[in-house]
Structure 1
Amino acid sequence: MYINGTWIETQKKITIKNPATLETYQEVYAGDGSHVQKAIEAAEKAFSTWSVLPAIERAQYLEKVAAKLLEKKEVLAKTITSEMGKAITNARYEVDSTSSFFKWFAEEARRTYGETIPSTKPNKRLMEIKQPVGIVAAITPWNFPLSMGARKLAPALAAGCTVILRPSNASPSSAIELFKIFEECEFPPGIVNLVIGSAKEVTDPLLVSPKVRKVSFTGSTEVGKELVRKSADTLKRVSMELGGHAPYIVFEDADLDLAVEGAITIKFGCAGQQCTSANRIYVHNNIHDEFIAKYAKRIQQLKVGNGIDDSCEVGPLINEAAIQKVQEHVEDAVNLGATLVAGGKQLKEGPYTNGYFYQPTLLTDVDERMKISYEETFGPVAPVFRFESDEEVIEKANHAQYGLAAYFFTNDLSRAYKVMEKLEFGIVGINDPYPFAVEGSFGGFKESGLGREGGHGIDEYMESKFVSIALR
């Protein structure tokens, strides 16, 4: 752990295993409430100087981090892959994304504009200014262990906040490498703090402390709701990037090859273990069979393996519980009438003997009775539904609970606008299976979250202060 500019060792350790081999990758020190309190004290002291540092000087620190991340790209990518399993090509992209967040928010640090407001009184001058919210608790998931930290830390630091990061116990090694970079870039003590440990011992003290003014979390909707409840007594500002159940719609006029490749990209990237993964693929009845033939062929060509192999396209799942959930969803669908076109089994032999590998899977004849139609699978399973009309598919796509990301493919401009406006999702990709950019906002509708990250996300870490000056 890293508190007040010092690396901390404890008597307690967490063992991190590579999900592709089940071999121990690393052991990391874990803390408790006493470490959280020390981190809060350090962050509180550092806030008094960091928050008043000129924005251009804060930006220079972030620029250094962005550059250092790219210098260490291969080491960082291997760390990501070794601790959570994703294909090394995906991990390299994550490092690039991480660097881009620090670069973007270094530039945004100088653009936290207030405004001058015309007064109705001749002897008054009105203005609104923006100031950093204070100490931020950032809680990140295991599936994007480097970039999710950056998406929270970069805007918080740019705004003038100090931060305490609690990474997932399943993949804390990437966060440790990021904090080594902070140290190399000579961040003053207390600006950034890293505390690793259980939710009860680390997260709960952050949520109840009145000194922590903001909580930013990425994870499941269920956990997000619990964090909001626990932080309510101190009325903290919260940003919640939560679960999703993304629809992927292929209209009859779509470029079919483009739609097939897109469905490979957004379904099987990170082995389907991302909240923006396509969970429900809707294909118009007139092109359904042709789409399935092309899609099945591409799925069967995907190479499953240890993510560290450059030729690997689909790595392992994170743990045994993930395997069991995927298998449960597949079996439930098949038992209720779905057709298993490809995959459908855990891989256990040969190079897959010791890892959590599951075949890329394709299901057809899926309907709304099946768990996979309403629960987030978080695995490499593509369920395909048929539809006849635009109205029908829009109604089905607008999931009652989730509203994070949605995708659709069409060459009809009028349809593109109409469908985009009717989809109840925070992110929409039109003929684009990966509509994510640091310049754009990231967040969901309904139970998929509160607030936005990326884009103008620095505003989430600032308070607005109205000032009225009476002239004499």
Structure 2
Amino acid sequence: MDRKLFIDGEWVDAIDARRIEINDPATGDRVGSSSIAGRVDVDRAVEAAKRALVPWGATHADERARMLHRAADLIEERVDAIADALTREQGKPIPDARKEILFGVTVLHYYAEEGRRLGGSIRPAARPDIRSIVTTAPVGVVGGIVPWNYPVDLYAWKVAPVLAAGCTLVVKPPHETPLAIGLVVQCFIDAGLPAGVLNDLPGTGPEVGAALAEHPGIAMISATASVPAGQSIMRAGAATLKRMSLELGGHSPFIVMDDADIEEAAAAAARRSFSNMGQICIAVNRILVAKPIHATFVEALVAETRKIELGHGVEPGVLYGPVLNESVRTRTTRHIDDAVRRGGRLVTGGTAPKGGLYDKGFFFEPALVDDVPDGALAVTEETFGPLAAIRPFANDREALAIANALPFGLAAYVYSGDLERAWSMAEQIEAGAVGVNVNDTSELQAPFGGWKMSGVGRELGREGIEAYRESKHIKLRLRSRIG
């Protein structure tokens, strides 16, 4: 697959004709290529989005909903082709690729209907001849920045509420994984989306991401990125006081209390640590285990981790694939080495497997390091790779202090047989979402986002569409009243 930029309703080459090759991280084989946008291309796309803004905002919510529903239906019809492209460019197995894409479909359907429910209210006024009306309007042209780890899913998280809210959009999909998104964009085209409403420009963060953040024609930025990238985006957007929705990095603690079901907690921790090879913003990074069950839990977790078999994600039965590229393996190895050097114990994994397919791709055995001391990279920096660090704790107070010690607060997990005890812990953890006896914190109708350095703003839920509407107060005086 060889794709171009999508600007003002047309597939076009970048002005400077730059392209990038996309290779399968499991085999090294060429998958396709993509045009790579530059700043001039961003200018073209923003102008197109500005021209489309007023007519799209004036389009009835029912008509906007019809197009979103139709695009979602087309994505679902083409899910096999899109999933194949996603697996070959990103590495995740086909079942995970399909799951990602189909959740994106659900998000599109959800916001199609939420757009119909946008309204206003009449508020109390200080005088009987005054009517105080509060309404909302589209915030304007939105710049979207999408990461490579869940490109289709997170594309839907941005595109669906933006379009349903009546805004137009210029998206920077990841240059590492732009191909499946190209197929998704075609679904929007085939659904009848007007020219200029959605513009799609694969490119790098330092160039295209920065151009969007700085552009005076962009009213708001919605980005899923690392903490340093989010800080850069916020600084760049400060000059024009852009509204921001930033879902940034995390460092999720997974707390296993002494009354937890050990086998259940170990299976949940392994899946949340190593699904998509740990390349998830809400992946488990720190596993905090009560001392009385520490040894038993580690034994169960090692057993679960060693069940993981790596392979090419397009092959039937493969549930775990390669990491995206060599930089992920290098960073993960650096974090392991640092933890061991500080006194931690590598209890399983932590090397690149050898032989056959493994010699061609970016494969890495999921790693567990036990007794990792505070201050190690593995427990202070987001690895974003297949590594989980284990640390015992003495009591609930210590577990809470460790969980809240970092400047991140995206997600956390608590496993306990005592719901009241777990609830108390969950209420005091400084994170945007906490899973209690469940290893996933995202829910379509609930807000998703981080505390502290893990971001500002929320996606999903009603909050996810309200972010793209600007409040307006209209105050009316009635000249006469009957009676």
Q: Which residue of 2 aligns with 1:95?
A: 101
Matched, 1:267 2:304: no
Matches within 5 A, 1:23-38: 23-38=29-44
Matched, 1:407 2:394: no
- Report the residue type matching 1:468 in the other structure: K
CA distance in 1, matches of 2:207, 2:284: 35
- The answer on whether the counterparts of 2:26 and 2:357 sit within 8 Å (CA) in structure 1 is no
Matches within 5 A, 1:57-206: 57-206=63-212
Shift of 1:320: 1.0
CA distance in 2, matches of 1:260, 1:309: 27
Shift of 1:199: 3.3
- The answer on whether the counterparts of 2:129 and 2:477 sit within 8 Å (CA) in structure 1 is yes
The farther-off stretch of 448-457 and 348-357 is 348-357
The farther-off stretch of 429-438 and 196-205 is 196-205
Structure 2, unaligned runs of 5 or more: none
- Report the residue type matching 1:279 in the other structure: N
Q: Which residue of 1 aligns with 2:315?
A: 309
Q: Deviations over 1:391-414 (max 9, x none)?
A: 100000013310000001112122
- The answer on whether the counterparts of 1:348 and 1:355 sit within 8 Å (CA) in structure 2 is no
- Report the residue type matching 1:259 in the other structure: A
Percent pairwise identity: 37
Q: Among 459, 466, 476, which residue is 1:469 paired with?
A: 476
Shift of 1:196: 2.0
- TM-score between the two structures when normalised by the length of structure 1: 0.98
Q: Among 219, 222, 233, which residue is 2:225 paired with?
A: 219
Q: Deviations over 1:165-214 (max 9, x none)?
A: 11111111122111111111111111111112233442233222222101
CA distance in 1, matches of 2:318, 2:373: 32
The farther-off stretch of 95-104 and 310-319 is 310-319
CA distance in 1, matches of 2:423, 2:11: 52
The farther-off stretch of 32-41 and 240-249 is 32-41
Q: Provide closer, same or farther for how the CA distance between residues 331 and 177 of structure 1 changes in structure 2, counting only shifts above 3 A.
A: same
Q: Which residue of 2 aligns with 1:3?
A: 7
Matched, 1:229 2:218: no
CA distance in 1, matches of 2:53, 2:303: 56
The farther-off stretch of 65-74 and 203-212 is 203-212
CA distance in 2, matches of 1:202, 1:374: 29
- Report the residue type matching 1:3 in the other structure: I
- TM-score between the two structures when normalised by the length of structure 2: 0.96
**SS of residue paired to 1:254:** coil
CA distance in 2, matches of 1:266, 1:399: 21
Q: Which residue of 2 aligns with 1:391?
A: 397
**SS of residue paired to 2:143:** strand
Aligned residues: 472
- The answer on whether the counterparts of 2:157 and 2:459 sit within 8 Å (CA) in structure 1 is yes
- Report the residue type matching 1:22 in the other structure: G
Shift of 1:25: 1.0
**SS of residue paired to 1:332:** helix
- The answer on whether the counterparts of 2:6 and 2:200 sit within 8 Å (CA) in structure 1 is yes
Q: Which residue of 2 aligns with 1:379?
A: 385
Q: Among 246, 251, 256, which residue is 1:250 paired with?
A: 256
The farther-off stretch of 434-443 and 142-151 is 434-443
CA distance in 2, matches of 1:126, 1:115: 9
Matches within 5 A, 1:318-467: 318-456=324-462, 457-467=464-474
